[in-house]
Amino acid sequence: MTIKKMTVKDVAERLTKLETISHERWKTAFNEFSEIKEEITRINLTIKTATFGVFGFLGALSIAVVTSMLV
């Protein structure tokens, strides 16, 4: 059984195919990265909103407690 040696043309064709496949994979990956970034942004906004809500509630509660002690 003999193994055919690859020619320069064969290598160039194979490299072109692999570059095309790699390009498509990276395009898909960058789309996924973009979606992940958007999700992280939404999560950060939710965390900020919840934090302000909790501290606002605690502030109002502490004012109510102090006011009820003074009256």
pLDDT digit string, tens, across residues 47-69? 999 999 999 999 999 999 999 99
**Read out DSSP for 2-50?**
-PPPPPHHHHHHHHHHHHHHHHHHHHHHHHHHHHHHHHHHHHHHHHHHH
pLDDT at 1: 66
pLDDT digit string, tens, across residues 10-54? 999 999 999 999 999 999 999 999 999 999 999 999 999 999 999
CA distance 4 to 16: 20
pTM of the model as a whole:
0.61
Please give the torsion angle defined by the CA atoms of residues 27, 32, 37 and 39, in that order, rounded to the nearest 10 degrees: 150
